[in-house]
Amino acid sequence: MGRCFACGTVFGFNPVRVPSIRSPATGQKEPICRACIERANPMRIKNGLPPIEIQPDAYEACDEQELG
């Protein structure tokens, strides 16, 4: 669980697969919720950028061994 860097919503995610952005302030990877990715993708496409792909299990819990 964590907060979306873009909108602040608390959501569950797989920290290995969730789309993320590096915080300009800390340099740490911060998670982005599905709703924010879905809102951003049309703008990215309009601006000639590829859409951000969402991995099938990005918003599901993961096995602790994946965090290794």
pTM for the predicted model, two decimal places? 0.86
Average pLDDT, the chain: 93
**How many beta carbons lie within 10 A of that of residue 14, not counting itself?**
18
Q: What is the pLDDT of residue 21?
A: 94
H-helix or E-strand spanning residue 46: helix 34-46
CA neighbor of 49 nearest in space, from 57, 40, 58, 36:
40
Give the pLDDT band (50/70/90) at residue 57.
Answer: very high
pLDDT of 31 higher than 70: yes
